[in-house]
Structure 1
């Protein structure tokens, strides 16, 4: 039953990420939701097979780094352009 909940969370996060076309903040939130679902499935598999949970701690560290980088991009984008629209983001202007 827990596996289906995790799979539903992963699929709903993926659908929201693929359908988001306007705001960067919503895209970042859906990416974090996908990563959180992946973390829950990782912990579930590690607990079933009896592995140590040290790798899950490393996964969380990389997740926090990814979130901090995403927020720094969001802040720099809002400071330079005044909004967080994905349509105004261009790689040529950076």
Structure 2
């Protein structure tokens, strides 16, 4: 039973990575795939820490950092849409 859960978490992680690598046109899709990867890592940490009967404070720290990462990505997305009008990477010039 536990191996099935770990297999599902691994499949979630790989699907998030495949979407991140293949859909590089829109910033929003890349941010959503990164959050999906973070969610699969959170599930993995939850299963691992509950298996070894460890305190869940590490999960709280992980959630705080992932929320900060999501807020930073969302603010970059909003500023990019306001300045360029869309979230395409082709219209965004770093120079």
Tell whether the structures are fold-level matches, with TM greater than 0.5: yes
Which runs of no fewer than 5 residues in structure 1 stay unpaired?
none
Which runs of no fewer than 5 residues in structure 2 stay unpaired?
none
Quote the Cα distance in structure 2 between the aligned partners of 1:15 and 1:89: 23
Which of the two has greater helix per residue? Answer: 1
Q: Deviations over 1:5-42 (max 9, x none)?
A: 00000000000000012110000000000000000001
Quote the Cα distance in structure 1 between the aligned partners of 2:24 and 2:63: 27
RMSD over aligned CA atoms reads 0.7
Quote the Cα distance in structure 2 between the aligned partners of 1:87 and 1:39: 32
Q: How many residues align structurally?
A: 92
SS at structure 2 position matched to 1:87: coil
Q: Counterparts in 2 of 1:2-41, with a 5 A limit?
A: 2-41=5-44
TM-score (norm 1): 0.95
Q: Which residue of 2 aligns with 1:47?
A: 50
SS at structure 2 position matched to 1:86: coil
1:55 deviation in Å?
0.5
Quote the Cα distance in structure 1 between the aligned partners of 2:93 and 2:83: 12
1:91 deviation in Å?
2.3
